Amino acid sequence: MRLIWRRIPPDNFNHELVWLVVSIAAAVGGGIWLSLGLPTLRCPFLAVTGYPCLTCGATRCAIAFLHGNISAAWSWNPLALLALCGVALFDVYAAIVLVTRAPRPRLIDWTQAEKNAVRVAVIVVIAVNWAYLLAHRAQY
């Protein structure tokens, strides 16, 4: 795997622009939904099994995160909090790159072993987060 910095030609897909717009639209849409007092969605997995799903607590985590209550956000869903922090950092990066037209980092030439290591790491992180949610299920 190699990290390269390159300028994006005009005809290439602009990941930074697309994902910045998607994340802003999701935040605005969620904010409008909650400000109108519309009901939050209930987890069907939790309703049927009594156990939290992989994403249970993510909405409450996002609300706590946006209110600046990081400890409450962590207690609702640690992986969702890390994802929200990652999205916030990506949005700052994307805005800077789009405004300055700076070269963008890209990881290229992944070996099969590196791809597999990332896949295993993602599965382990999700499993550990789910174990946390199951251990703290009384709050759901």
**How does pLDDT run across 24-54, given as a tens digit for each residue?**
999 999 999 989 999 988 899 999 999 999 9
Query: What integer is the mean pLDDT of 55-65?
Result: 94
Alpha-carbon distance 82 to 89, whole Å? Answer: 11
Alpha-carbon distance 74 to 61, whole Å? Answer: 7
pLDDT score at 129: 97
The DSSP symbol for 2 reads E
Statement: residue 139 has pLDDT above 80: no
**How does pLDDT run across 69-127, given as a tens digit for each residue?**
999 999 999 999 999 999 999 999 999 999 999 999 999 999 999 999 999 999 999 99
Alpha-carbon distance 33 to 51, whole Å? Answer: 26
b vs e for 28-50, b when ≥16 Cβ sit within 10 Å of the residue's Cβ? eeeeeeeeeeeeeeebeebeeee
pLDDT score at 131: 96
* Rg of the Cα atoms in the chain: 18
**Structural domain boundaries of the chain?**
2-38+51-139
State phi, psi for 43 to the nearest 5 degrees.
-80, 115
pLDDT score at 11: 87
Q: Which of 47-56, 121-130, 131-140 has the highest mean pLDDT?
A: 121-130
pLDDT score at 140: 66
